[in-house]
Amino acid sequence: MAATNYAALDAELNTLLKLAVPAIGIAFRKDAAGAPPPHGGAKPAATADGRTGAVSAGCVFWMHATEREFSTVAADHGNCSVGSLTHGFKTLSEAAAGADVAALVQSEWVSPEVFPAIPTVKEKPGSVVYGPLAKLSVEPDVVFLRVNGKQLMQLHGALPELRFEGKPQCHIIPIAKEAGAFAASTGCMLSRVRTGMSNNEVTCAVPARRLGELIERLKKTQSADLAVASYASDDAKRFA
């Protein structure tokens, strides 16, 4: 079976959505052997409960991955217990023991009752690879998009079944990987502060194996959108 040409699919996706931020690919691998170079970077001193990492949270890797390809391991994600849980690096009991989770509960941002329902990657990965979709050297499991309001409208038009999720933002990754479902997130305050993501952006996770399907569905709905836009523009001239 021929490998999927993700560079070509990326080009089509950009033609349809006119993305301001490049799509990235995320690949979960059983081990780190043969993976792209590591993300790198010095880790700060660990907190009292032992947390540190290459970045403050795994969602920060989404921002770096628009520029270059790199691999990460569990220790790179270790500062954020929530992200380590959703990405399969920590069990529920391990994540719940983190002081960061305790702080979230104490602030009433989240309640412990929701923890068992948070989607997670089922098999603990040996590494996770990130990078621009058009240049990714490994087969991605998830295609990750940062979109504005109009682009989200277009995605929902093509995907009426699109799941809309809230906090934590990172749980849309396992929804796409494990359930094979399209999922958008309004984002979460934890992630927005750590990533510096624009207030005008929301995120969407696409199962990589269904990217071609998404593109074909966007093509069909785009023609209808263009027809409606033309009608609305002409009709509005009566009020000029």
pLDDT tens digit sequence for 75-86? 999 999 999 999
> How much is the pLDDT for 3?
80
Percentage above 70 pLDDT, the chain: 99
Q: What is the mean pLDDT of residues 26-55?
A: 94
Nearest 10 degrees: Cα torsion 227, 230, 233, 237: -120
Q: What is the mean pLDDT of residues 142-168?
A: 97
Asked whether the predicted pLDDT for residue 210 surpasses 50, the reply is yes
Q: What is the mean pLDDT of residues 92-112?
A: 95
Asked whether the predicted pLDDT for residue 41 surpasses 90, the reply is no
Q: Is position 43 within any domain? A: yes
Range of lowest pLDDT (3-17, 28-42, 195-209): 28-42
> How much is the pLDDT for 2?
54
Average pLDDT over the chain reads 96
Tell me the whole-structure pTM to 2 decimals: 0.95
Q: What is the mean pLDDT of residues 23-43?
A: 93
Asked whether the predicted pLDDT for residue 18 surpasses 90, the reply is yes
Asked whether the predicted pLDDT for residue 1 surpasses 50, the reply is no
Asked whether the predicted pLDDT for residue 50 surpasses 80, the reply is yes
Q: Is position 169 within any domain? A: yes
Q: What DSSP element (H or E) covers 176?
A: helix 172-179
Q: Is position 48 within any domain? A: yes
Query: How many residues are given for the chain?
Result: 240
Domain range for 81 is 6-239
Asked whether the predicted pLDDT for residue 199 surpasses 60, the reply is yes
> How much is the pLDDT for 35?
86
Q: Is position 1 within any domain? A: no
Q: Is position 37 within any domain? A: yes
Q: How many whole angstroms separate alpha carbon 85 and alpha carbon 128?
A: 14
> How much is the pLDDT for 235?
95
Q: Are 177 and 141 in contact (CB under 8 A)?
A: yes
Q: What total of structural domains would you count in the chain? A: 1
Q: Is 9 helix (H, G, I), strand (E, B) or coil?
A: helix
Q: Is position 110 within any domain? A: yes
Q: Is position 18 within any domain? A: yes
Q: How many whole angstroms separate alpha carbon 238 and alpha carbon 236?
A: 5
Q: What is the mean pLDDT of residues 35-60?
A: 95
Burial class (CB in 10 A: 0-12, 13-18, 19+), 66: middle
